[in-house]
Amino acid sequence: MNKSVSDLLTRRIALLDTATSRPLLAQGLRGIERETLRVNGDGNLNLTPHPRALGSALTNPQITTDYSESLLEFITPAEPDIAIALDKLDAIHRFAYTELGDQMLWSQSMPCKLPSEEEIPIAWYGTSHIGMIKHVYRRGLALRYGKSMQCIAGIHYNYSLSENLWKTLQQAEQAPGDAQNFQSESYIALIRNFHRYSWLLMYLFGASPALSTQFLRGRPHQLDVMSEDTLYLPYATSLRMSDLGYQNNAQDGLVPPYNTLLEYMSALSRAVRQAYPPYEAIGTQRDGEWMQINTSILQIENEFYATIRPKRVIRSGERPVEALCRRGVQYIEVRCMDIDPFEPLGISLETSRFLDAFLLFCALDESALTNDAEGHENTANFALTVKQGRRPGLQLTSGGNAISLQDWGLELLEKIAPVAALLDAQRGDTAHAGSLQTQKNKLLHPEQTPSAHVMQALREHGGSFETFALKQSKLLADQFRARPPSAEEMHYFQALAETSLQEQEDIERTQIGDFNQFITDYRSRTSSEICCG
């Protein structure tokens, strides 16, 4: 393996590390989506509807639901500095706690003790066509994968570089094609590198080495027993990202390693059209009620469980693949980050600074075209790390050659270091370099990883995931309640909630046509012409 920093990375850093170009680094945007279950004081799932005081889950841009009425999703605006986004995420949490009463936000990625599958409430978005299709989609998820799996929570990290930065790189490198194409394919190159190195994120930030025994609903497993209510693997970092979490055999090989945006869109478009016999057996309707949008491998593109996605903000009624086709890639969404149970927001500023350096490295470094063999290698490295990442001497594979996780991780940090230095030069501080040092310490001392901290905490709580998670959730809830929103913040979020409720009512009052025709029209926009025409 070539251990030196690539020539391309060196040239690009030099290009951006100038008085004229350095400000471009501050023009990209960051945002966070944080999922969290609403639980009662005893740690059981709260089954009440989404609190009306939080606004409409359909139209509130910052507070919504994910799969279940009980699974909140907090969404920050996109900001030029992740610190600003985290401050806004903190404000959302503090406002939510003013309306939750005795309820709490669950502090873990893996769920609390869940009721029966039938009792877990599917998210409801009202009676409008767009609201109903969101609900029907979730009905389909329940039939396809079960409701328990949909109650797993994570952090999604949204990341973009400024369009002017991409234009600067294209001009300097005299790359052919228009600016939109160069930007889109550069994001795809970033994603290729992310797949090569994302195992490192799971080692450094994975925080779900254990789970509630009840979560598996009697499914076969190869986990160790820690206590009557807890299963674990001794060296695991993220069972959430293992085959025990987001598992879906129907999606195996669905989107093969891709080298262009067109390949990615074509694979997703095929999957939304390709019939899958087990889903055909279920059908789309039962007793006149829609149960799933279609009987294809995917109902919609977002059903594909990717660790990272190319994204474009969609317009009302637009499909994700349509937006990508028409206007190209605007940002990427990292989806593999666990909730850090020791952080009130589920993610720290220091972790976010590292993510910025890691993702910029993936964007600026050489990114050779990929193939199926490398895809299998990447998948195997990721799977090994989430289940055995802290195992002493664990070996991964790079280019067909064995290399220890620790050695490869330290080598990657060396390559990321000049990128971190570039970001610090732009900011005038050492935040990114400091975060790199923290990550280096984790590689040298596995007991400093979040997953090791969770294991230690579990041992201190009698080996019980539920006991530890409940205590930690209460601790964080008390911290948020001790810092209520200011009058100005309360006014802002209350106005946001009231506006969203009015918007939902307006949509429901003014819509035309019936839902059957709406869903038929929606399904018809999955032809290959969307991305290939």
pLDDT in tens, 189-212: 999 999 999 999 999 999 999 999
What average pLDDT does this structure show over 156-178?
97
**Short-list 198, 223, 250, CA closest to 377:** 198
Please report, for the domain that includes residue 131, its CATH number.
3.30.590.20
Model pLDDT, residue 498: 98
For residue 517, tell me if it sits in a domain.
no
Q: Would the pLDDT of 2 be above 60?
A: no
Q: Tell me: the pLDDT tens digits for 405-448?
A: 999 999 999 999 999 999 999 999 999 999 999 999 999 999 99
* CA pair distance 121, 53, nearest whole angstrom: 19
Q: How many domains does the chain have?
A: 1
For residue 280, tell me if it sits in a domain.
no
Residue 16's domain comprises 7-247+331-495
Q: Would the pLDDT of 65 be above 60?
A: yes
For residue 92, tell me if it sits in a domain.
yes
Q: Tell me: the pLDDT tens digits for 251-281?
A: 777 888 999 999 999 999 888 999 999 999 9
Q: Tell me: the pLDDT tens digits for 467-476?
A: 999 999 999 9
Q: Tell me: the pLDDT tens digits for 374-404?
A: 999 999 999 999 999 999 999 999 999 999 9
Q: Tell me: the pLDDT tens digits for 30-50?
A: 999 999 999 999 999 999 999
Q: Would the pLDDT of 94 be above 70?
A: yes
Model pLDDT, residue 378: 97
Model pLDDT, residue 532: 43
- Within 328-464, residue ranges assigned H as helices are 349-364, 372-388, 405-427, 431-444, 450-460
Model pLDDT, residue 524: 81
Q: Would the pLDDT of 1 be above 60?
A: no
Model pLDDT, residue 244: 81
Cα distances from 405 to residues 99, 154, 391, in angstroms, run 45, 24, 9
DSSP 8-state secondary structure symbol assigned to residue 492: H
Model pLDDT, residue 526: 63
Model pLDDT, residue 101: 95
For residue 426, tell me if it sits in a domain.
yes
**Short-list 50, 49, 54, 59, CA closest to 507:** 59
Q: How confident is the model at residue 321 (pLDDT cuts 50, 70, 90)?
A: confident
Q: Would the pLDDT of 3 be above 80?
A: no
Model pLDDT, residue 251: 75
Q: How confident is the model at residue 249 (pLDDT cuts 50, 70, 90)?
A: low
For residue 45, tell me if it sits in a domain.
yes
260 class by beta-carbon count within 10 Å (0-12 exposed, 13-18 middle, 19+ buried):
middle
In contact, 66 and 369? CB cutoff 8 Å:
no
Q: Would the pLDDT of 312 be above 90?
A: yes
Model pLDDT, residue 253: 74
Coil, helix or strand at residue 343 = coil
What average pLDDT does this structure show over 334-361?
98
Average model confidence (pLDDT) for the chain?
94
Q: Would the pLDDT of 241 be above 80?
A: yes
Q: Would the pLDDT of 528 be above 50?
A: no
For residue 258, tell me if it sits in a domain.
no
